[in-house]
Structure 1
Amino acid sequence: MSAPRMATKQKVVIVGAGPVGSLAAIYAANRGHDVEVYELRSDLRDPSTTPLNFTRSINLALSERGLNAMRHAGQPKLIDHVTAVTLPMRGRMIHGKNPSGELYEVSQDYDIHGRAILAIDRGGLNKRLLDILEDMPNVTLFFNHKLTGADFKNNKAWFEIRKDAEQSKETVPEIEVDFDLMIGADGAHSAVRYHMMKYTRMDYQQEYIDTLWCEFQIKPQDGKSSLSRFKISPDHLHIWPGREFMFIAIPSEDGSFTCTLFAPAAVFSQLESFSSQPDGTSKISLFFDTYFPGVTNLIPPPDLLSSFNQNPHLPLISIKCKPYHHSSSAVILGDAAHAMVPFYGQGMNAGLEDVRILFAILDKHARMDENSDADASSDGTAASQRARALAEYTAVRIPDAHAIIDLALQNYIEMRSSVLSPLYRFRKSLEEYMSVYVPSLGWQTKYSRVSFGNERYSEVVAKSERQGRVLLAGLLGGVGLPVLSGAIYLGMRYRRVVENGLGGLLTTLAGVFQRK
């Protein structure tokens, strides 16, 4: 697919070279702009580069929204380049133990039509996007550059060049950069958003949920090849639901699984006290055997203890803010605009979708100006065109971003607890049945709408709530109608009995009076 070109060549500065920033750079470069990408860390393709949270990070789940954004990037080979290093996950595998003590696995497919989400290593995805950028002649990558200031009225920014973490403030050189548009894709603790707040009346809300996470790993089987490398199914996202907490495992290409423990801070405090004791290994093992049966068969207890002690225990944050832009000069995307907890697997996908929607709106306003007779010296300037486009982007995207943030929080309850509920499974089965056998009604599960479609998140919520109301009414009708019918039947029987009884009584009384 060829990307449309903007009417006026611009200089676009992108802060953040993660997946969202890299895709935004591809979109901008394909429109003929001069693009500069500034990243705080060293080259993200270098294995020695330390991630900002000091861990490999939760493996990513790439779904339709992210793939759709890549399809529209103007790089025909991008999708194949990325999906070559993914593993399809067709559903959840729920792990548990029967009352008899026997371990079990129960598969819950994501989609009755067989669609899957794709597990991908964050580093592998980033490398492929950066490789494409590096081959584009109008893109320049700058690593080890920290945004320290921005003037969004005069379109200037300042970056420190940090080659060494031990450098003193006095020895760090600083450069000044001009731009037409700055795109902030620099994560939940965004420097671009921080500096935007000095120029824009931004509403801002952040929430840390009472859950920490820590990473573990199921190693591949030694001496094995192909699918036999995997100790458990590579076709699933594995969940050990603990009702108030959970343990998950996501497959990686090399046969390993990236695993994550999610639990309240109080549980982590208890485990930390266990881990420091001489019998810490046995106590950690007992905890996992109690709440996540079967995990110690996949990860030896000494490895569980060492991972728990060595890997950081990190918080989970949700961020809502508005607006997402300032005038014509700046806009924020991805976690910088709407950080969310990872339980719907939509954080990155929503960020990549941001890119597609932003540039679709920018393209629309460019075409509108090209087709109008506006005086280029007034409202037809590139700056006023961008300002209108960015304002529309903010208005369109905020309801959807806030909707998926809320859905991600709700899905934590589903993953750790609801997957065990017969009512949850009944509703899922009923909605899937309706989608297959009565397709004209347009019924789908909420998960399918979010992960396998491109409807607006806010519309997904509205449709799901409407389906829920219909199901509830149907359920009440299905239960209530027989009860009501029974009540009517009994009432009529009672009426006949009363009428018959009254008639018999009157007949008897008449006979008595006649005899008298």
Structure 2
Amino acid sequence: RHSSTMDKSTGRPTKKKVVAVVGGGLVGALNACFFAKRGFNVEVFESREDIRQAKVVKGRSINLALSHRGRQALKHVGLEEKIVSQGIPMHARMIHSPSGKQSPIPYGKKGQYILSVDRANLNKELLREAETYPNTKLNFEHKLHDWTAETGLMTFVRSDGSKEQIKADLIVGCDGAFSAIRKQFLRRSRFNYSQTYIPHGYMELTMPPINGQFAMKPNYLHIWPRNTFMMIALPNLDKTFTCTLFMPFEEFEKITTGDEVIEFFQKYFPDTIPLIGSDALRRDYFRLPAQAMVSVKCSPYHINDKCVLMGDAAHAVVPFYGQGMNAGFEDCIVFDEIMEQFNEDFSSVLPEYTRVRVPDDHAIADLAMYNYIEMRAHVNSKWFLFRKHVDNILHFIMPRTIIPLYTMVTFTRTRYHEAVERWHWQDKLINHGLMFSSAGAVLVVSFMLIKNPPDVNKLIFAAENLWNRLMALKTSVI
């Protein structure tokens, strides 16, 4: 078990402020570890039952992609190696064409990968770790009823209907996209808030093992891009794949029978039918309706020196950059770094946290929206693939000058908004370079043709021959 901070003169635990963490999900549980490690008396309040004892874990289950930012936060509390050992490395996207052809697109340099991790298992590990600190108390089935920013007084309703009050020096809202803590922020002036539901929903399907082994290559994030929608599949430790179909709600609603499900998959994802199973598709497609996805932006993240928002409560993002959890975990480490900088003075720490973090979280929210277009459509483009190769070659030649956007976001802790600014600058530079290179090539060819003019009759003969072939091809196609 971890020990709390000790007073060197008395040898007793120092009397520390009370930090109330509202929300026992991923970011809330990790935050509890960060605050407890600093010696604060931490109380975690979660409205649901303890998922470690629950027979059925309620809530979202889209697989998580753990990358550098999240790993650094886990490392800070000594959990990186344990969580990494429970994940499956994914070194590249594996693009599935309608014909069944598979083409990998590496995420970064050799050795760079993201990890497919199980949400529920990760949450359980973080709660176990938080509980190893003697200055942490976990309170389950405690729903926030009311709180006051001026005094830090909070009222919770237990599962039996009784109420409990606690006074905290700092309230940390980690209670998700529909945060009860954030409702108080909405009542205050000069609080900016926006919520956007995208027109696409998601549905999860399971691809079972075949003869005890993965049905597809496991070390990839599999993608079936179909321009206006897509399906992805991430590997699990039990040798299954969790497949997630992302599609406009109106398209989901068009499919009303089992036969229509099979027809749809035969048209767009034919290679998955034998892997998922026709009967499973007919059954599971209608098990739950398509779920909505919301993007939330707000500012500021704090009220005075009493309350701060983190994770989805501050910046819910759509899941297409695999950064929702990583951004939430990075919130914890950024806050901890600012705590160190300002000697745990909340009156200085909270406004600085807002100043530093808001532009980054807004940037990753926008990038997540952009990446959906890239994943479902751009990966089919030859220009996109060409640019990927150009970017990677330039990164290899000039590793400090040209860094691909995905590398900055996924494999470094470059601030999100700085990564976006650098990406736009690099994009202009590379596009101008390619344009000038093309113009230079045209000039060289033109000069050579002027200096050594070709036989005109041969050119005419070649042009006529090419035309005849094209006409023949057109006729055969018709």
TM-score normalised according to structure 1 size: 0.82
The correspondence of residues 103-252 of structure 1 with structure 2, limited to 5 A, is 103-162=100-159, 172-199=161-188, 201-222=190-211, 224=212, 229-252=213-236
Question: Could you tell me whether the CA contact under 8 Å between 1:147 and 1:191 is conserved in 2?
Answer: yes
Which stretches in structure 2 are left out of the alignment for 5+ residues? 8-13, 453-478
Equivalent residue, structure 1, for 2:380:
420
Distance, in Å, in 2 between the alignment partners of 1:256 and 1:327 is 47
Equivalent residue, structure 2, for 1:496:
none
**Residue 273 (structure 2) pairs with residue 296 (structure 1):** yes
Distance, in Å, in 2 between the alignment partners of 1:427 and 1:176 is 58
Distance, in Å, in 1 between the alignment partners of 2:68 and 2:55 is 31
Q: Find 1:386's aligned residue among 346, 350, 359.
A: 346
Distance, in Å, in 1 between the alignment partners of 2:368 and 2:348 is 31
**Residue 427 (structure 2) pairs with residue 468 (structure 1):** yes
Equivalent residue, structure 2, for 1:259:
243
Distance, in Å, in 1 between the alignment partners of 2:448 and 2:126 is 70
Question: Could you tell me whether the CA contact under 8 Å between 1:152 and 1:199 is conserved in 2?
Answer: no
For residue 413 of structure 2, give the secondary structure of its aligned residue in structure 1: coil
Distance, in Å, in 1 between the alignment partners of 2:6 and 2:247 is 48
Distance, in Å, in 1 between the alignment partners of 2:3 and 2:116 is 28
Equivalent residue, structure 1, for 2:439:
480
**Residue 371 (structure 2) pairs with residue 411 (structure 1):** yes
Q: What are the Cα deviations for residues 293-316 of structure 1, in whole angstroms up to 9, with x where unaligned?
A: 211011112211211111231111
Letter in 2 for 1:146: K
Q: What are the Cα deviations for residues 141-161 of structure 1, in whole angstroms up to 9, with x where unaligned?
A: 011111111101011111110
Structure 1 residue 362, shift from structure 2 partner:
1.4
Equivalent residue, structure 1, for 2:475:
none
Which 4+ stretches in 1 moved above 6 angstroms? 1-8, 486-493
Which protein has the larger Cα radius of gyration, Structure 1 or Structure 2? 1
Q: Find 2:316's aligned residue among 339, 342, 352.
A: 339
Q: What are the Cα deviations for residues 417-442 of structure 1, in whole angstroms up to 9, with x where unaligned?
A: 11111111111111111122233x43
Structure 1 residue 49, shift from structure 2 partner:
4.1
Equivalent residue, structure 2, for 1:498:
none
Q: What are the Cα deviations for residues 235-266 of structure 1, in whole angstroms up to 9, with x where unaligned?
A: 00111111100111100000011111100011
RMSD: 2.3
Equivalent residue, structure 1, for 2:44:
37
What's the % identity of the aligned pairs? 38
Q: What are the Cα deviations for residues 159-202 of structure 1, in whole angstroms up to 9, with x where unaligned?
A: 11025xxxxxxxx1111110000101111000111123234531
For residue 267 of structure 2, give the secondary structure of its aligned residue in structure 1: helix
TM-score normalised according to structure 2 size: 0.89
Equivalent residue, structure 1, for 2:469:
none
The correspondence of residues 319-468 of structure 1 with structure 2, limited to 5 A, is 319-366=296-343, 385-439=345-399, 441-468=400-427
- Over 3 Å counting, the alpha-carbon distance change for 1:456 and 1:256 in structure 2 is same
Distance, in Å, in 1 between the alignment partners of 2:40 and 2:223 is 45
Q: What are the Cα deviations for residues 190-232 of structure 1, in whole angstroms up to 9, with x where unaligned?
A: 011112323453110010111011110011224x3xxxx1010
Q: What are the Cα deviations for residues 99-155 of structure 1, in whole angstroms up to 9, with x where unaligned?
A: xxxx21111111123300000000110111111112210000011111111101011
For residue 310 of structure 1, give the secondary structure of its aligned residue in structure 2: coil
Question: Could you tell me whether the CA contact under 8 Å between 1:4 and 1:363 is conserved in 2?
Answer: no
Distance, in Å, in 2 between the alignment partners of 1:34 and 1:320 is 30
Distance, in Å, in 1 between the alignment partners of 2:73 and 2:134 is 22
Equivalent residue, structure 2, for 1:308:
285
Distance, in Å, in 1 between the alignment partners of 2:49 and 2:330 is 26
For residue 294 of structure 1, give the secondary structure of its aligned residue in structure 2: helix
Q: Which 10-residue stretch deviates more, 392-401 or 291-300?
A: 291-300
For residue 438 of structure 2, give the secondary structure of its aligned residue in structure 1: helix
- Over 3 Å counting, the alpha-carbon distance change for 1:17 and 1:267 in structure 2 is same
Question: Could you tell me whether the CA contact under 8 Å between 2:4 and 2:134 is conserved in 1?
Answer: no
Question: Could you tell me whether the CA contact under 8 Å between 1:81 and 1:128 is conserved in 2?
Answer: no
Which stretches in structure 1 are left out of the alignment for 5+ residues? 164-171, 367-381, 494-516
Structure 1 residue 448, shift from structure 2 partner:
1.0
Equivalent residue, structure 1, for 2:252:
268
- Over 3 Å counting, the alpha-carbon distance change for 1:161 and 1:200 in structure 2 is farther
Question: Could you tell me whether the CA contact under 8 Å between 1:3 and 1:72 is conserved in 2?
Answer: no
- Over 3 Å counting, the alpha-carbon distance change for 1:64 and 1:209 in structure 2 is same
Distance, in Å, in 2 between the alignment partners of 1:160 and 1:270 is 42
Q: Which 10-residue stretch deviates more, 441-450 or 83-92?
A: 441-450
